[in-house]
């Protein structure tokens, strides 16, 4: 796992270092605002930290029984956010994340082999750290038709709700 994280960090740091954007606006009023209320089963984003140069979010599972793995894509403004690293929760022994294009995070976590699945409800699956180029409002949304959660029996968990959020100025 650490290998994956290290890889992603190197990639995303390199990308962040290319930014020529102006310095971020005031941190005090700039926050992550989760999306609207939802019903399980669901995966949502939860804000952990927003600073002048960093946004830390958790990808959180809700009402997911025997979860084996999750694949998702997130879209955001590439001139504001860039992936720095993803750190999976310990249960997920396989993980990968990388920007497939500016502003498009491609990610996945999974158990391996005979992993029996995990019951997830309100637990963070991964922590995402983004470099923040500037404190401008922007949405962070799941690409729903490219995201899926799979149960231990190999079936896709039906009727999933994917809930993103937005960086907003309050």
Contact residues: other proteins, CB under 8 A: 4, 7, 68-73, 93-101, 104, 106-114, 146-148, 150, 154
Min CB(78)–other proteins separation in Å = 12
Q: Would you call 72 exposed, middle or buried from its count of C-beta atoms within 10 A (0-12, 13-18, 19+)?
A: buried
Q: Which of 12, 35, 22, 59 is nearest to 139 (CA)?
A: 35
Give CA–CA dist 131/19, Å, rounded: 10
For other proteins, give the closer residue by CB, 23 or 154.
Answer: 154
Query: CB of residue 153 vs other proteins: minimum separation in angstroms?
Result: 11
Nearer to other proteins, 6 or 169 (CB): 6
- Looking at beta carbons only, is 52 or 112 nearer to other proteins? 112
Q: Is 145 helix (H, G, I), strand (E, B) or coil?
A: helix
CB of 71 or CB of 77, closer to other proteins: 71
Decide: 163 and 142 in contact? Cβ < 8 Å: yes
Nearer to other proteins, 31 or 71 (CB): 71
The distance of closest approach from Cβ of residue 63 to other proteins in the complex, given in angstroms and rounded to an integer, is 19
The alpha-helical segments, DSSP class H, found in the chain are: 2-16
d(CA 67, CA 85): 23
3 state DSSP class of 16: helix
Rounded CA gap, 169 and 103, in Å? 20
Q: How far is the CB of 61 from other proteins (least distance, A)?
A: 14
Least CB distance from residue 49 to other proteins, whole Å?
24
């Amino acid at each position: 796992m650490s290998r994956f994280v290290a890889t992603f960090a190197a990639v995303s740091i390199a990308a962040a270092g290319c930014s020529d954007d102006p310095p971020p606006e005031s941190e005090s009023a700039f926050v992550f605002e989760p999306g609207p209320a939802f019903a399980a089963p669901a995966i949502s984003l939860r804000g952990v930290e927003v600073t002048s140069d960093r946004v830390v979010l958790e990808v959180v599972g809700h009402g997911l029984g025997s979860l084996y793995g999750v694949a998702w894509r997130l879209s955001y403004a590439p001139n504001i956010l860039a992936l720095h690293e993803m750190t999976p929760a310990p249960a997920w022994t396989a993980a990968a994340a990388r920007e497939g294009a500016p502003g498009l995070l491609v990610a996945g976590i999974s158990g391996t082999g005979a992993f029996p699945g995990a019951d997830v409800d309100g637990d963070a699956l991964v922590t995402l750290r983004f470099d923040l180029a500037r404190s401008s409002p922007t949405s962070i949304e799941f690409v729903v038709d490219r995201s899926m959660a799979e149960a231990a029996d190999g079936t896709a968990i039906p009727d999933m709700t994917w809930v993103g959020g937005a960086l907003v100025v309050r």
